[in-house]
Structure formats: structure tokens, C-alpha cells
Structure 1
Amino acid sequence: MHDFIQLWAQHTPILSILLPAFTGFILVLLGNPGSGSLSYDWRQPWRRGISLISTILGLGLAISYLMLAKTGQITVYNLSEWSAPFGIVLVLDQLSALMLVLTYGLALPVLWFACQQWDERGRYFHAMFHFLMMGLCGAFLTGDLFNLFVFFEVLLLASYVLLLHSQGKPRFQLGVHYVTINLLASALFLIGLGMIYGSVGSLNMADVARLIPTLAEDQHRLAVVGGLILFIVFGIKAAMLPVGFWLPKTYAVAATPVAAIFTIMTKVGIYAILRVNGTVFDDELSQKILSNWLLPIGLITSLYGVIGAIGAERLRRFVGFMMLSSIGTILIAIALFSTQAWTAALYYLVHSTLIAAAFYLFCGWVTAQRGEFKDHFNIAPQMKQHKVMSIIYLLIALMIAGLPPFSGFLGKVFLLQATADAPYQGIIIAVVLLVGLLSILALTRVGFILFWRASRPEDDPDNDAYHSYQALPAKAPKGNDKAIYLLLAALVAYVVFANPIQRYAFSTAQQMQNNRLYEMAVLKQDETGQVISVQPYDPNYLPETKYSGEKPDPNAKLIPYVISPNTLEGEHISDYKQRQINQQIEQDAASDDLPQLKPMEP
């Protein structure tokens, strides 16, 4: 047990990425016959067992990370023992820990429901599910902009396959649109990264945040433009207007458990806006441009979402538009750029993710009990479980509309409190209240059609409609109702423990806005307290390795600060290099000059 605890402490947080990665590889190696053979394939119970156990372990890891981050400690993991900004680092702070818990807390009930029979409708469901989890965890933990792009691509590749799960022409058509949009976003992502790297010389988040204010005017403007391109990319992922029209239709055709787990994917875009545009690009020019655009975008997105919900003709598209409206509410909070507003954004983010997932699961229940009417807003015979379903719908409606005493109400209260000293306070309050009122009207309309105006079932055995109605299931799809109950119970607990959760969110917002703390945790410093970085950038600088021969290196003295003590004492440093390190350290000790990164001879 001691060795296990030591292993966990040493390799946190990469275990959260390796766990779903190895699970996905194992599930691929198990093989997967055609979807028609999965119901009696002897390996299917093994797939489900491995998948569920891995998700439970992932949730346990995420909770342990949350308890660790709660202390305010920022944990940095240097891959291959290369320190930032020269190597890839993973950073576990309060925000990333919160997102990991949310990811696995949503994944467990959704996966459990999918294991009832949904996973038999397509190949490699479980493997793709865990590769999606790998991409999500990596995106939340990486401290490097390029690796944020890499993990985005991992989760997107898995989402392409999951979107087509269960097959069908509508899924294929909208799947092509979904892939095309995300390929365009990926191309823009690379362009933005190129502009940032070309002007800053680094892609480590902490290093970029430290160096941007020091750049010359032309380089600074180029880096800011690169950051704004990334903002467009993250906006596409978050489905904000005017680049979020794809979400309602795309999520409407996804299989029920897939649509439910996809609710966390839009929050990756929100996370990236907070992490990159909110804290990395925190110079005056970036914040001025972003604040001028983000607030109107949030207001318009919130209004458009609820208006689209009022005009929706299907329940699944209705949920998609309500998701857009909630995304707009979160963007409004982010645009205020205050600790209290970001606290409200984080609190409401968790609420909106869980309630949207529960709503999508409810759509599957409705579709199963309405037969040929599916989830279309047409008058249909009364559903066989209409009493319990109407109660569940009422709870979901109260939560998603933001009515007291549920978590959506608290999130909006926190947001309205944060507007106390904000410009355009009256407009923000008016839009939030108007969206709440329109949400109530939209949800009332849906409930009126689905339950109040439902016709009496045909009771004449000689009528074909009677036999069609009797053939409909008398119960919810296996596991569907229980997964909804779990999510609703989590949202009730979210209200009960709102005080400690709000304190954690407030502490998280404070930590996010303290760039100096993040920089000190991620970047290394020499004995004078100067950050060891890539600036001034010298393209002719080629660091010597053990196998590159004996070449003078004016920066040898910095090596002890960027590699671990074990590596320094091992066989990776040549005797010639070690002598250089010792000589330069002795010279610096006898000199009053501060050490600087010096160019090497070409």
C-alpha cells in the first residue's frame, strides 16, 4: 500500500490520462464483431466490466485530485523530467480538478445506462468512450497550448465515431457537418498557435502569460491576434454565437447516452476560454478586446438559445437550444472578469452540464414511450408512465429554468450579485431575467404538448392504433430512469452543499486570476530568482546532449534548475558537461553579474 501511495503521489496527475488511454487500448485488443453480434458475444460482459471499473477508478482519482487541489496546492508533472517551458507539463489546480470530477461524475451514470443495451448498437463504443475521456482529461490537465490542441484532436476523433453510433442517415449527414466544422476549427487552432509561437517563442501557458507584456509592439499585436483566433476556435467548441448553430441539430441525432456525455464537450470550450483567454492573455489589450466582444456574444447567445427553444419542433432540439442559452449565461459571467462573476460561472457550469445530460436521457425515455411520434411536438396518446414522467419533467423544468430552490436559481443569483459594480448592469440583469421568463414559457409549452394535451389511448381492440399503443413499452428503457434519478439526486445535493461548493468555486476563481502563483509553480528559477525561459529567443541555440560531442555551452549552469536531481546525478550528463556546470556556477558565485541566457556560437 505504501508503494502504491508513493506511486500515486509521484505520478499525479498523469494517471488520470493513462487510465482511460490503457482502458481504450485493452478494449480495442478485445476485438469487436459487428453490432448485430454484440448481444451474444462472450466478450461483451468483459467490455462492460472493464469499462465500468475504469470509470469508477477514474472518478476516485478525480475526487482525490479535488481533495489535493482544495488545499490551494498546484501540482506540476514534468513529462520525461523536462521542465517547462522546454518540456511538456501537466498542471493540476483547482479548476482542472473540478472539471475532472464533473467529467467522471457525468460519465459514470451515462456509461452505466449505455451498458444496458445501447452499447450493442455499434462497434467499439466502450473503446471510443474511454478515448473521449482521455482527451477530456488531457485537455483539462495540460499546461501547454500545443498539447491542448493535441488533446482536442483526441477527444474529437473519438466523438466522430460516437456520433455515428447506432448508424442512420441523419447521423451520417450531420456527422459530416460536425467533422467539417471541427476540421476548420483545428486549422484555425494551428494558425493561432503559429502566430503565438512566432512572436513569443513559447507555447507553455505560464511562460506565454509572463512574456506577452514584455514583447515589442508589433510582436505583441501578433500574439494578441493569435489569442483571438484561439478564442474563435474555443467559441466553436463551446457553441457560442455566431459559430454555435451546429449544436442543436447535431446533438439531436446522437444516440441518447452519446448526447448526454457530449454535454461536457461544450464545457471544454468554456474551460479553454477561461484558461487561455481569461488568464494567459491577461494583458490590457487582450482583455479590452475580449471584454468588448464577449459580453454581447454572451447576451445574444443566451437570448437566441431560448428563442430557438420556443420555436423548436422536437424535444431533442429543444434541449440543444436550452444548452445554447445556458452557455450564453456562462459567457456573460466570464465577460465580467471579476472573482465573484467567475465564481458564478463555475457554479452554473456544473449545474448546466448535469441538467442538460439528464434532459437528454429524458428525451430517450419520451421517444421510447411515444412510438411513431417519437420526440416531435405533436399531440400523441398519453404515455404509459405519464405520471412519473410528468413529475420528472417538472423537476427538470424547474432546474433548467433557474427557479428556486434549485441550483440554476442559485447560479443566476450569484451572477446577478456579481453585476453590482459592472458596466451595463441594467442590460445584464434585464437579459438574465428575460431569458428566465422565456425559459418558463418554453418549458410550459413543451409540458403542455407532451402531457396536458395528450389524447386518451385507443381502447378499441379492433382499431390498429390500439395494437400499436399496446406494443409500446410499459417501462422506461432499461437503466434510463435510474440514470436520470442519479443525475437529479446529484443536482439536489449540489443545492444542499451549495455553501462549501460556492467557497471552492470562489477559491478557484481567485487562483485562476493569480498568474504569479501559477507561474511560480510551473516555471523553474535559478539561484537569483530569475525565471529560466526561452527568452531572449536564439534560433542558433542547440543544447548539447551526452551524445553530441564536447561543445562549449554558456548556459550549462542552468541545467540543474531544469532537470530533476536524479537525472543530474545519473548517466545522462557527460563528465565534460558536468565540469562546465561546476565551472560556470563557481564563476557566477565570484561575480556580481546576474546570469542570463547567452547565445551559442553557430
Structure 2
Amino acid sequence: MSFFDFWYSHAPIFAILIPAITAFIMVLLGNPGAGALTHDWRQPWRRGLSLVSVGLGLATAINYLLLANTGQITVYQLSEWSAPFGIVLVLDRLSAMMLVLTYTLAAPVLWFASKGWDSRGRYFHAMSHFLLMGLSGAFLTGDLFNLFVFFEILLMASYVLLIHAQGKPRFQLGIHYVSINLLASALFLIGLGIIYANVGSLNMADVARIMPTLPTDQHRLATAGSLLLFVVFGIKAAILPLGFWLPKTYAVASTPVAALFTIMTKVGIYAILRVNGTVFQDDLSRDIFSTWLLPIALMTSLYGAIGALAAARLRRFVGFMVLSSVGTILIAIAMMNTAAWAAALYYLVHSTLIAAAFYLLCGWITSQRGQHTDHLLVAPRMKQAHVVSVCFFIIALMMAGLPPFSGFWGKVLILGATAQFHAQAWVIAVVLLVSLISIIAFTRAGFVLFWQATAPEDDPKEEAYSAYQKLPAIAPPRNDKAIYLLLTGLVIYVVCASPIFNYVEQTAVQLKDTQQYIDTILKQDQQGQVISVQPFDPNYVPETKYNGEQADPYAQLVPDLVSEDVWQGPHISPYKKQQAELQNQQANTPDQALLNAVEP
């Protein structure tokens, strides 16, 4: 095969393999103590490999976006067994968009971190790429248990990254962060167990197909499992009352880690949209989900804005604004219509990149305020006050949702989608109120940081004079440039709003078409029936190499589930092939009589 045939035949596994292989190479390179990293001869190799890998990942994500833009859903079968018996990766418009967002964020952040921040702790680049591996896998998987696995990968990487550069506050809140996520992981497994016990499958397409056909008792239990997953995803997305941990936790993370973590809440939103919004789409699940999601989203958005207004530190200010944006996105998802989902996806990209830029700006401001760091207290004027204030002003306009930036258009699209919605008045009132509170909060922070800043001490005899002179006169290396890259990207985002909105609109339409998702992923037998685990037979034991050859009433389905190479290969026994041939012959006879099982 040519290179391109090989590339497309194995899409989308490369999006996971690239960061995975990079991370393993980083681990094999070894890592001395943090104090020796600056002089370690391997550090330039780590940085170069990390940046090349993230650039290759970005190129791969863009390539997948172009592939998904054709409307095609690409299914990759791990081990060459079809769903629901094998695990599959699924590349559609939504997963491709999330991959591009992930690498668009990671590229400038890792480029900035490679200029010194990565030397303040061990295995920074390795953990960053394990995080990218977990994110990519979570966006691409078509299996609920595999979603749990990739969640655990990205969470374990985030545990290490959170305490990068060490410090008592990071360890204290790191324990808090780990404890909450371990609880969420336990609930995740319980929810998966409930769903599997009643549905008999964990493949997303298969669960979506089977749910409406379940008996009443099983259906209610499976619905309870789906709502337990919603609680788990709510913890990841930091919605009320499960999101109080986020502002403090992100505030103590190092600058590049905090910027990178802005994509983490979007994993929770993605999971809510993918699993609760499209997989569990039977009447009962949909009604409960939409009924509870809207008030939670409204409260989250309002709480985040009020928290930002009362924040005593700039980093916590950003954390509360992240919470508010999560609530705004979920308000649109709760409306459960195509236009609202498209608006939510458009706003999701904006909120992720602008929050990352704001965290990077916090690092810049902290470096120039000395002992005042990012506390919202009156301090001597920063040495780069003019350029920093301009960046703050632009970020404030974007994040508060003022024209002509992408935040404004995202909120306009959300408000436009409220037509015919039963809670239209509540949505409009909260979105506008949150925007007003955000403007006031940014005005307050700007006044303290810039307008009320005092003149620096000019008496050389004073201790404050020497302390001020020691402060850097320029931004930390690459800090300002990384901010400029993100802000430029957001300007391009609003300039290209029309084609981008067309894409997210088609993405929302594709998400609503659950039947296309099912038809693409699941295989059918010769009679046109979906090959699935239903009806579930708890006494059925398939033939395996561990229990010997046994009569298999479903042997005729195996050729439809595997590729021709696998069927003709050594892993399918002659006995299995003989059973399949006889069952196919019997199925084609006029009387449709059952043949006796072939003896081994």
C-alpha cells in the first residue's frame, strides 16, 4: 500500500500512538532531580522531541478534521473484531474538532514551558504527552469502558503535573484533587457495572440501540447507571455542586499546567454531550437528563460569575470564570436542539483558548508584582504596565462576551437558539446577567491591577526601591509570545466564524443522527439484522483457547465480525469454521431446520 493508504486505513489510531510513543521515549530517557535538569544534556532532546511530537499531533488532528468534514464516520477496529465484541475508535466531526482544539492549545503552551518551566520538576514533558494521549483516546473511543481507561490515563498524568515545581499548597490541593477524582473513578465503575448488567454491552452504539428495547425494570436500572455517569462527568466538568474544587486547585498549578488544564473541564462536557446527550436518547433518559441539566447549568454559570466578582486572587478569578463558561456551554446543551448544540461547540472552543491565555497572563503579571504576586491588592506599577494592561483589556472583552470577539458571537448564537424553548426567559436573563457581572468583575480587577497602581519607590535608600529594581523588566521567556499566539488564534476564529459555524452546525446534526452512528459502527448479518449481544444469554460460553472447542450456536456470525484475513488466519479454529459453514447451509435450506452441533 502507499503511504496515504496506510495512513487512512489506520486512522485514527495515530492520534493516540504519537503522544503515547513520545511519552514512553521520554520516560526511557530518564530524568535527574529537578535541580539538575537545567544542566542535563538530555533536556534539549526532551524539548525538541516534545515540540516535534506536538507539531506532528497538530498536523494529524487537522488532517483528521479534513477527513471528518466530508461527513464520513471513520471506525478503527482494535484487534480487527467488530463492535460490540471488539473495542473501536470512532472519528467523527466532534472528535476531530476536539483533537484540533487539544493540540491548538498544547502547542503554544508546551513551547512556552520549554523555556524554563519544564526544568522545575521531573518528567514534565512525559506527563504532558501522557495527558495528550488520554485526551485523544477519550475523544476517539466508541466504548464506555475504554472511556474510563483513557480518563484514568489523563488523570494520572494530571496528578503529577499539578504538583510540578512542588510547594506545600500544590501538595495540599493535590491530595484534594486526587481524592475527588478517585471517588469519581469509583462511581464511574459502579455506573458501568449497572449499565453492563442490564444492557449486556458497553459499546456506545450498541447501548444506544438496545436501551429502548429493554424491559421496564432493566431500562430504569440502566437509566440510573447513565445518571451516575452524568455525576462523574459533572465532577470532571466542575459543575455545581461538584465544582468547588476547581478555582483553588487550578490557582496553585504552575502557569503552563494551569493553561493546559483548561481543556480538562471540556473533557467532562464532551462526555456529557457524547454519552448522556446522544447514547442514552430513549425518552426516560432524555427527559431526566434535560430536566436536571438546565437548572444545574444556570446555577453554575451564575455562581462562577459571582465568584469571580468576589475573588481575592487573579488566578482564582480565572478559575471562577472557567466555571461560568462551563455553565454557559451546558445551558446550550440542555436546550437539546441542533442550533443550541452548534452554539455550545462554538463557544466551547473560545472559552478554552481564552482561559488558557488568561492563565498565561497571570504568570506574566505575577512575575512583575513581586511579593504581591497575583493578589488583587494595590501594588507598585508594573514595569510593562502598558502592554500588560492592553492584553488584560483584550482578554476581558473576549471572556466577558463583548463585541466583536468570539465570546460575543458565541453568546448571541446561544440566545438565538432559545426560540421556542420553554425556559427562554430564564436562559436569556441568566446569560445577560452573567455577562454584566463579568464586566463588573473585570473592571474591578483592572482598577486594582492598573488604575490604582502606585508609583514605584524612587529613593535608593529604601528597601522597596531595591526590591522593585530586582523585578524583571520584561515578560518571562516566551510568556508574552504564547499569549499573542492564542489571542491571534481567537481573532482568526471570529474572522472565520461563518465556515467554523457551518462545521459545528453540521457536527450538531451528525450528533443528533444516532441511527447513522449505529449503522456505521455495528455490523449486520446476511439477513440484515444487527449482530449484537442481545438477546443476552448468561449461559453462553464462546469457544476460547482456554476452555477448548465447544459447540457455538452463533458461529455463522463470526465471518461478519472479522476481516477476511483474520477469518482465514490461524486464530480461527477449523472446528469453528466447520460450524459456521454448516449453520450457513442450514440457514439457506427451505425448512430452516436446526442442525445438530458438530462434534469436535
> Normalising to structure 2: TM-score of the pair?
0.98
User: Counterparts in 2 of 1:81-230, with a 5 A limit?
Assistant: 81-230=80-229
* 1:131 aligned partner, one-letter code: F
User: Which stretch shows the higher mean deviation, 553-562 or 69-78?
Assistant: 553-562
User: Does the 8 Å CA contact 2:211/2:219 hold for their aligned counterparts?
Assistant: yes
User: Counterparts in 2 of 1:109-508, with a 5 A limit?
Assistant: 109-508=108-507
Structure 1 residues 50, 411: CA separation in 2 closer, same or farther (over 3 Å shift)?
A: same
Distance in 1 between the 2:546 and 2:154 partners? 37
Distance in 2 between the 1:570 and 1:122 partners? 49
Structure 1 residues 368, 550: CA separation in 2 closer, same or farther (over 3 Å shift)?
A: closer
In the TM superposition, residue 579 of structure 1 has moved relative to its aligned partner by 2.2
In the TM superposition, residue 551 of structure 1 has moved relative to its aligned partner by 3.0
In the TM superposition, residue 291 of structure 1 has moved relative to its aligned partner by 1.1
In the TM superposition, residue 170 of structure 1 has moved relative to its aligned partner by 0.3
User: Does the 8 Å CA contact 1:528/1:594 hold for their aligned counterparts?
Assistant: no
Aligned residue in 2 for 1:555:
554
CA deviations 1:99-144 (Å, max 9, x no partner) are 0000001000000000000000000000000000010001000100
Aligned residue in 2 for 1:59:
58
In the TM superposition, residue 529 of structure 1 has moved relative to its aligned partner by 1.2
Distance in 2 between the 1:592 and 1:118 partners? 75
Distance in 2 between the 1:579 and 1:513 partners? 42
| SS of corresponding position for 2:572 | coil
User: Does the 8 Å CA contact 2:223/2:285 hold for their aligned counterparts?
Assistant: yes
Structure 1 residues 547, 428: CA separation in 2 closer, same or farther (over 3 Å shift)?
A: closer
CA deviations 1:485-544 (Å, max 9, x no partner) are 000000000001000100000000011111100001111101111100001111221222
Structure 1 residues 599, 327: CA separation in 2 closer, same or farther (over 3 Å shift)?
A: farther
In the TM superposition, residue 594 of structure 1 has moved relative to its aligned partner by 12
In the TM superposition, residue 300 of structure 1 has moved relative to its aligned partner by 0.4
Aligned residue in 2 for 1:71:
70
Distance in 1 between the 2:465 and 2:243 partners? 43
User: Does the 8 Å CA contact 1:538/1:599 hold for their aligned counterparts?
Assistant: no
| SS of corresponding position for 1:77 | strand
* 1:36 aligned partner, one-letter code: G
1:587 aligns to 2:570 (yes or no): no
* 1:573 aligned partner, one-letter code: I
Distance in 2 between the 1:594 and 1:249 partners? 69
| SS of corresponding position for 2:2 | helix
Task: Give 5+ residue unaligned stretches, structure 2.
Answer: none
CA deviations 1:239-263 (Å, max 9, x no partner) are 0000000000000000000000000
User: Does the 8 Å CA contact 1:368/1:476 hold for their aligned counterparts?
Assistant: yes
Q: Aligned-pair RMSD on alpha carbons? A: 1.6
Count of residue correspondences: 598
Distance in 1 between the 2:15 and 2:108 partners? 19
Distance in 1 between the 2:450 and 2:549 partners? 81
Distance in 2 between the 1:591 and 1:353 partners? 62
| SS of corresponding position for 1:434 | helix
User: Which stretch shows the higher mean deviation, 3-12 or 236-245?
Assistant: 3-12
Distance in 1 between the 2:289 and 2:598 partners? 40
Distance in 1 between the 2:588 and 2:26 partners? 57
User: Does the 8 Å CA contact 1:541/1:599 hold for their aligned counterparts?
Assistant: no
In the TM superposition, residue 549 of structure 1 has moved relative to its aligned partner by 4.3
Structure 1 residues 217, 37: CA separation in 2 closer, same or farther (over 3 Å shift)?
A: same
Structure 1 residues 130, 585: CA separation in 2 closer, same or farther (over 3 Å shift)?
A: same
In the TM superposition, residue 10 of structure 1 has moved relative to its aligned partner by 1.7
CA deviations 1:243-302 (Å, max 9, x no partner) are 000000000000000000000000000000000000011111111111111000010000
* 2:314 aligned partner, one-letter code: L
Distance in 1 between the 2:508 and 2:252 partners? 36
CA deviations 1:441-482 (Å, max 9, x no partner) are 000001111001100111111111111111000000000000
Distance in 2 between the 1:345 and 1:599 partners? 55
User: Which stretch shows the higher mean deviation, 354-363 or 282-291?
Assistant: 282-291
* 1:313 aligned partner, one-letter code: A
Distance in 2 between the 1:547 and 1:475 partners? 67
